[in-house]
Structure 1
Amino acid sequence: MAELLRMPEVAAGSTAAVLSGWPVPEGASFHAGDALMIVETDKAEVDVPATADGTLIKALVPTGTEVEVGSPIAVIGAPGEEVGDLDDLLSGLGIAGPTEAKPAVRREVPEAEPTTESTASSDTALPPANGRIFSSPLARRLAREAGIDIGTIQGTGPGGRVVRDDVNAAITNRPPQPAPTADDPTPAAPSLPPSVSRSTPPSVGAAFEVVPHSRIRRAIAGRLAESKQTAPHFYVKGQIRVGELLALRQQVNADGEVKISVNDLLIKAIAKAHAQVPEMNVIWTSDAVHRFHTVDVSVAIATEGGLVTPVLRAVESLSLSAISAQVRAFSEQARHGALRQSDLEGGSITISNLGMYGVEEFSAIINPPQAAILAVGTTTRTPVVAEDGNLEAADVMTLTLSADHRPVDGALAARWFAALRESIEKPVRLLV
């Protein structure tokens, strides 16, 4: 029995979302759990799975449009179901026709483009569904910048979707361009991709590239600007000896199959500190402070499209191997744009680690509505004063806690930082 598929509320409290793609072409069947649609929210681009087996009879909304939650976006039916008169079916469902669906606002990210004979050769181009190539916004941008037709790239994502790795592989395997010949000593200037705009204002004279804001980048900018404007930040910083922590990591990795990172150990240490100082496990709302019963920690992961912060749930009850496996899974999903909206919601604190880039210390902006974020620097070999008063070399890491002064006082943050230091400098407690 045919029925309407409506835009789901993929983000709690959201009123609209961008329909980024249809991995399932019209007329094709799908199974429960398959990616039925790709929806872009303020935080990430996520695949929305089908809840049951069925057939995508008709898409009512084109890709690249913003749709209100609850608005009809497609007609779906039973597996293998065929429709004789589509207009009668739409009329019976209360839809006047596909072209009369509620207008949606175009988003900033360009949508997938149909292939033509002039842009894709018949022996290399993929046969698109209904003239469209399904690809992520990042993949389309990378292909345009490299001057590669997206229609010539074999997609390995869900439903044959072209993702970043596919474009990078096409760039790597692209044959080299022929060098100019002697008969043409003054070669023409290379053509620029459509997304690159070169302008030479009289007062500047330098070429530049215009990169339109994506929905995610706008959201990141808005949320962090709001955080600095509305949350009174204060900072607690300290240098912590991590020699025993590094030794424990080496021992655990030597005996175990799952390789534990320093970041995994720090996530566990945060959970220990929250358990000891539960007043830090909070968020601020306009009506009250919410104090949580489990420690949910967000992990900052950098992607080509922007920073995402998936949440590890109940970290206090997870083993180090479970933490490591979950972080690795989140990193892989973030790289392929497969994080779910539910993965990005919640948590009272975020960990942001720039140590792998050689950054010694930094101060991070709180991810609202959370109450704190811990900035992690690199480990350095530093002279320190030992208990006997002599100088000795030690492995030291600088940690900076940014806290929201509304739910967290300075003394509270200091107590929490002391608990964190104890867990890191005496790391055997992380295994208990």
Structure 2
Amino acid sequence: MAIEIKMPALSPTMEEGKLAKWLVKEGDSVSSGDIMAEIETDKATMEFEAVDEGTIGKITVPEGTEGVKVGTVIALLAEEDEDVSDVAAMSAPAAEPEKAKPEPKPETENSESKPAEPAPAPATPAASKPAISKDGRVIASPLAKRLAAEKGVDLDSLTGSGPNGRIIKADVEAAQPGTAKPKAAAPAPANDAAPVAKPASVEMAAETRALLDERIPHSVEKLSGMRKTIARRLTQSMQEAPHIYLTVDIRLDKLMAMRAELNAALEKQGVKISVNDMLVKALGKALIDVPECNVSFAGAELIKYERADVSVAVSIPNGLITPIVQDANGKTFSQIAAATKDLGKRAKEGKLKPEEYQGGTASISNMGMMGIKHFTAVINPPQATILAIGAGEKRPWVMPDGSLGVATVMTATGSFDHRAVDGADGARLMAAFKEYVESPLGMVA
């Protein structure tokens, strides 16, 4: 009997993925451990290995298919005593229903497009006639008339939802552009070099169409799996975690002087330490000093960590990912530099393993290299702490002897989940972080 090859769960939270590329074809022989396909999760592209031996008899989900649910049969494997042609003629019972979801993209690609079915209803001739004035004109608001003219919508075909059947803006916006008969829109394009609206490249959901301003040149594209995940998780974070923000100004002169000495000493080894590498270490040490902030809120319990695994925010072409520097408190500056360089490179290539970006005990987001002076970051659940690092810049500064001088100063803001971290504990963490940065020898002692 043919062996069903199913869409794997490549991470604990994965529910669906994109079958990006098949590396085998029907008729190919595979052994356990052979790479069969590349699968895109919400964060990375991962290789899928065969766990059985046999011959690929049928590929039931073509490459490029998005939204393939975990557990969907994606291929059939013929065993040694089976005829490959018989397997190729088979239809996997579980494959077809799952495959049907991503295939008809215009209508059923995802749940967001379902509301589009009732949307055209207002644009079709309704059973009741629109309100008519004494002189025979359709009663509509001035804004509705202007929008109808721009969209080429015939007001006679609409049913007004306003008082006494009056056609209002919402009635016109609900009409599908081009589905209603335009009154005088036909001759207009002859004298207009540009069309009123550029056709959308994808089928839009009803809520998208309601927000769209057809007068402005535009394009519409589907959200990537990563962007959907970012939107869902950060919305969840802001809705569920009451954020408290604590800000401190930190002098960087001693840290930068130490960095220059370290890089000069490590130059022959090809190691270059960045300011951010040193800040990762400082946060790791501060989290161990103030364990009340090295926690996760779990509803009925509070998880307390004994090691500081710091997630470092990295911008990639399709969004944001947070690879983890494990044991940041125990690593040396050069070890952190090597880890962040490797993780950042593989993050941008989409080659991180789930365990390298899922988890962590706290996060750091540095936008100083972009010239951002101050910002607040959204907590990365289930963590309870994230630090937002601004740019180091020359500022007037009161020196230890009381004189006024110029120092290199940065602004750091901690965001804390107030369900798990009290304000006083958050303040202690910021004070400890500041102490390590301003007296960096404490990180190597």
Inter-CA distance 235–108: structure 2 relative to 1 (3 Å threshold):
farther
1:333·1:339 contact (CA, 8 Å) conserved in 2? yes
Partner of residue 150, structure 1: none
Partner of residue 178, structure 1: none
1:325-336 map, 5 Å:
325-336=338-349
Distance 1:105 1:329 in 2: 37
Partner of residue 233, structure 2: 223
Inter-CA distance 340–364: structure 2 relative to 1 (3 Å threshold):
same
Distance 1:368 1:303 in 2: 20
Alignment match of 1:238 (pick from 237, 242, 248): 248
Distance 2:295 2:104 in 1: 35
Inter-CA distance 305–84: structure 2 relative to 1 (3 Å threshold):
same
Partner of residue 23, structure 1: 23
* Shift in Å, 1:431: 2.5
Task: Encode CA deviations 1:32-57: one digit per residue, 9 max, x unaligned.
Answer: 7765333333x313213426696655
Choose 1 or 2 for highest CA Rg: 2
1:60·1:101 contact (CA, 8 Å) conserved in 2? no
Residue aligned with 2:401, SS: coil
* Shift in Å, 1:61: 1.8
Residue aligned with 1:316, SS: coil
Partner of residue 337, structure 2: 324
* Shift in Å, 1:344: 1.9
Partner of residue 65, structure 1: 66
Q: Which has the higher contact order (CA 8 A, sep 6+)?
A: 1
Alignment match of 2:421 (pick from 402, 408, 415): 408
1:57·1:83 contact (CA, 8 Å) conserved in 2? no
1:263·1:353 contact (CA, 8 Å) conserved in 2? yes
Residue aligned with 1:235, SS: strand
1:66·1:106 contact (CA, 8 Å) conserved in 2? yes
Distance 1:17 1:39 in 2: 7
1:371·1:408 contact (CA, 8 Å) conserved in 2? yes
Q: CA RMSD in A?
A: 3.5
Partner of residue 3, structure 1: 3
1:209-358 map, 5 Å:
209-256=219-266, 257-358=270-371
Q: Which moved more, 1:236-245 or 1:213-222?
A: 213-222
The one-letter code matched in structure 1 to 2:235 is: A
TM-score with structure 1 setting the length: 0.71
Partner of residue 44, structure 1: 43
Q: Which moved more, 1:11-20 or 1:364-373?
A: 11-20
1:46·1:341 contact (CA, 8 Å) conserved in 2? no
Inter-CA distance 392–202: structure 2 relative to 1 (3 Å threshold):
closer
Inter-CA distance 97–230: structure 2 relative to 1 (3 Å threshold):
closer
Distance 1:319 1:336 in 2: 26
Distance 1:311 1:83 in 2: 46
Task: Encode CA deviations 1:72-109: one digit per residue, 9 max, x unaligned.
Answer: 2223479xx79633435886xxx647974644532999
Q: Which ranges of structure 2 fall in alignment gaps of 5 or more residues?
A: 107-192, 204-208
Distance 1:211 1:50 in 2: 32
* Shift in Å, 1:205: 3.4
Distance 2:410 2:243 in 1: 22
1:361·1:399 contact (CA, 8 Å) conserved in 2? yes
TM-score with structure 2 setting the length: 0.69
Inter-CA distance 238–52: structure 2 relative to 1 (3 Å threshold):
same
Q: Which ranges of structure 1 fall in alignment gaps of 5 or more residues?
A: 111-187
Size of the aligned set, in residue pairs, is 349
